[in-house]
Structure 1
Amino acid sequence: MKICVFGAGAIGGLIAARLAASGTPVSVVARGAHLQAIQRRGLIWRERDSERIVRVEAAADGKSLGTQDYVIVSLKSNAFAAAWPALEPLIGEQTVIVPAMNGVPWWFFHRFGGKLAGMTLDDVDPHARLATHIDVARVLGCVIYLSARVPEPGVVEHMGREDIELGEPDGSMSARAERLRACLASAGFTCRATADIRSAIWNKLIGNAGLNPVAALTHATLDRILDDHGVRTLLLTAMDEVIAVGNSLGLKIRQTASERLEMGRSLGAVEVSMLQDIKQGRPLEYEALCAAVVQIGERAGIPVPTLRALTALIRLRARQLS
């Protein structure tokens, strides 16, 4: 089984390192100094108090790597469409594409049913570029709960959690999902297959949709956000809006907004991903995290005033960075 991790940053790098260490043939697509370091000395993987160098084939695009059985796409959701030309050479007749990204994916309403069946998400997939190029039959849904960082080029450090959920968009329990699940489990991840990947996606979104823009706008770490009564109240309101939209879609919500926030207390003074991006001047991943929820809420007739305000603010901040 050949696996390529397209986008071997913190999360993708950790997945690639563990797969390679478990004996799975894996290649990576990376860029810049990170790619050069991996090509020169291998990928350095730090886990707790240990450090290991794993050798993976690394390239700037898919041309030299050949077609794959699985391509795990670990990019920011707003970078996927532009990256397609570099990814396309990896795709053969049977290749499975596994978008390991946050937020509402472009395929979410494919064969969804109900009044929102076939709805397109303008912010997530402008001009339907992904929908045009990728047959949803190739897609295996994925939700990632990992914490990792790249402290220096060629190094990936695992910070916490190691949970992955996989699921077919059509709700089936497929052999291809089970093969990848078993492979990731053998690499040390807590990985399970689900028949309801959309609910899994939405449950992670409940935290991300409000928390990421709030952190980016305030430059506050998670502990300070949770300890500020006014900000916490605003966050709970935004998260309740996400839950209301999810309920209107018939999704299975696992936690209340308060329970979801309390999960974050154990993480301490962490910088969530959008805050890290804004401090490093990178594009902000607001489209799939909050703008999509606003669009869905409007179509479903669910009021989302707090989330709409946060989205307007973070969209303007993102434009100032570009």
Structure 2
Amino acid sequence: MSEPVLIWGAGAIGGVIGAHLARAGHAVHMVDIVEEHVEAMRGPGLRIEGPVAEFTQRLDASTPGELSGQFSTILLAVKAHHTEAALDMLEPHLAPGGIVTSAQNGLNERVIAARIGAARTLGCFVNFGADWLEPGRILYGNRAAVAVGELDGSLTDRARRIHALLSIVEPDAVLTDNIWGYLWGKMGYGALLFATALTPDSMSDAMARPEHRTAYEALGHEVMTLAAAEGIRPLGFNGFDPEAFRNRDAGAMAASLAAMVTHNRQTAKTHSGIWRDLAVRKRRTEVDAQMGIMIDIAASHGLGVPTLARLVELIHDIEEGRRPQSPALPDLLVPPCA
């Protein structure tokens, strides 16, 4: 049997990937900090539910403290703000010459590369919809764009190997020479999703509110301006049009928002993971690791991002109980747009 792929973080993304790989006959070992989830995976199995796929897959699994051995291929699928802590635990299990692939939201490749080196880090972009429901259960809500690529844009055998694995989950997965373009495109898309989490509305209903359109346009514009300052050519996906927001083209932004609303009306995952952290799991979100880093990048270029800064403040207010989620809360994003 070939050496298992180690998937560190068996939540929404890691769980869907691991279950599909194992069902296809690949050796997989899952690691998660939730003991009940680990017991479910190696006992009755991990239940994948939803319109995309319905099956139960038993998986080799352990908590970090139970894990032994080293692995050449590690897929990191934890929340962005848990990246450093996960690296502390997984680094002893990374074999010499092994690679870590980040199947996360955000620019975590920067953090991983700073720790283990860019040569041992592979970039990955995942946009399919999934939710961790409870130990042993994950909702796979919709298919969407997946891409993998080397940080330096080269096309290597190891990137092809990881692409082949991810193609089991998403047959239209892309092997790209511009993974940073995908990741920055998702940062723009992600800024809009953070704004939808200010409300109890679904992603599509929140983005469709005309009174908040200027806020969504400003968020997309600020992130795409930062991408340009970083020398990145962002790529569009699932309705998001980077050029429309960078140029602040009113007609093109309206068309892009309409396309994103349409895309998100077609998924069983109606709300973002950010919303779920705030409304259901009552825990801190990835806002600092995703949007907070945008503020730091803006400062390094002498740029202002007032709408992003206000968004981060509002998410913190909800996390800390100072404000409730409300359909009107995005009203407070509109003044900075002026």
- Listed one character per residue, the Cα deviations across residues 236-267 of structure 1 (whole Å, up to 9, x for unaligned) are 11111111111222222341242543333122
Separation (CA, whole Å) in 1 of partners of 2:184 and 2:304: 17
1:239 equivalent in alignment to 2:241:
no
1:174 equivalent in alignment to 2:156:
yes
2:12 corresponds to which residue? Answer: 10
Task: Write the letter of the residue equivalent to 1:236.
Answer: E
Separation (CA, whole Å) in 2 of partners of 1:150 and 1:132: 29
Does the Cα contact within 8 Å between 1:222 and 1:264 map onto a contact in 2? no
Separation (CA, whole Å) in 1 of partners of 2:105 and 2:53: 29
Does the Cα contact within 8 Å between 1:43 and 1:54 map onto a contact in 2? yes
Does the Cα contact within 8 Å between 1:29 and 1:62 map onto a contact in 2? no
Does the Cα contact within 8 Å between 2:51 and 2:142 map onto a contact in 1? no
Separation (CA, whole Å) in 1 of partners of 2:69 and 2:320: 37
2:107 corresponds to which residue? Answer: 104
- Listed one character per residue, the Cα deviations across residues 22-41 of structure 1 (whole Å, up to 9, x for unaligned) are 11101101223222211221
Separation (CA, whole Å) in 2 of partners of 1:155 and 1:102: 21
Residue of structure 1 aligned with 2:210, choices 229, 252, 264: 229
Report the secondary structure of 2:283's partner residue.
coil
Task: Write the letter of the residue equivalent to 1:32.
Answer: E
Give the 5 Å matches for 1:55-70: 55-61=58-64, 63-70=66-73
- Listed one character per residue, the Cα deviations across residues 43-87 of structure 1 (whole Å, up to 9, x for unaligned) are 222353863222210001175352222111111110111223332
Structure-2 change in CA distance of 1:63 and 1:189 (3 Å): farther
How far is 1:188 from its partner?
4.5
Separation (CA, whole Å) in 2 of partners of 1:145 and 1:162: 5
Report the secondary structure of 2:54's partner residue.
strand
1:153 equivalent in alignment to 2:135:
yes
1:261 corresponds to which residue? Answer: 257
1:87 corresponds to which residue? Answer: 90
How far is 1:21 from its partner?
0.9
1:299 corresponds to which residue? Answer: 300
Separation (CA, whole Å) in 2 of partners of 1:15 and 1:144: 10
How far is 1:206 from its partner?
0.6
Taking only the aligned residue pairs, the percentage that are identical comes to 27
Give the 5 Å matches for 1:108-257: 133-212=115-194, 214-253=195-234, 254=236, 255=241, 256-257=244-245
75-84 vs 312-321, which moves further: 312-321
Does the Cα contact within 8 Å between 2:79 and 2:104 map onto a contact in 1? yes
Task: Write the letter of the residue equivalent to 2:140.
Answer: H
144-153 vs 198-207, which moves further: 144-153
Separation (CA, whole Å) in 2 of partners of 1:131 and 1:319: 32
Equivalent residue pairs, number: 299
- Structure 1's consecutive aligned runs of 4 or more residues displaced over 3 angstroms after TM superposition are 130-133, 186-189, 315-321
Does the Cα contact within 8 Å between 1:59 and 1:65 map onto a contact in 2? no
Any unmatched runs of 5+ in structure 2? 246-252, 323-338
Does the Cα contact within 8 Å between 2:74 and 2:101 map onto a contact in 1? yes
TM-score (norm 2): 0.81
- Listed one character per residue, the Cα deviations across residues 102-147 of structure 1 (whole Å, up to 9, x for unaligned) are 112251xxxxxxxxxxxxxxxxx6xxxx566422221101110111
Any unmatched runs of 5+ in structure 1? 108-124
TM-score (norm 1): 0.85
